[in-house]
Amino acid sequence: MYNTVFLFQLKFEARLKHTYLEKHNIPRNLFKFIKYQKDNEKKEKMLLESYG
C-alpha cells in the first residue's frame, strides 16, 4: 500500500513540475536549463543596474 501511494505522489508531482516548466517556457534538458539560467541572471543583473 505504501509503495502505491508513494508512486502515485511521485508521478503526480513530476507531472505538475513538467506542466509548470512547459507553461513558463523553461527547458527540461539539463544543458539548455543551465544556459537558460545563466541568461536570466545576466538579464536580471542588467535590469537592476539600469534602475540603480
pLDDT in tens, 7-28: 666 676 777 788 888 888 888 8
- Across the range 35-45, mean pLDDT stands at 88
Query: pTM here?
Result: 0.57
**Could you tell me the residue range of the domain that residue 20 belongs to?**
2-51
Residue at 3: amino acid letter: N
The CA-atom distances, in angstroms, between 5 and each of 1, 10, 19 are 6, 9, 21
More confident residue, 9 or 38: 38
**pLDDT above 60: residue 34:** yes
Q: State the total domains in the chain.
A: 1
The per-residue pLDDT of the chain, averaged, comes to 80
Give the model's pLDDT for residue 17.
80
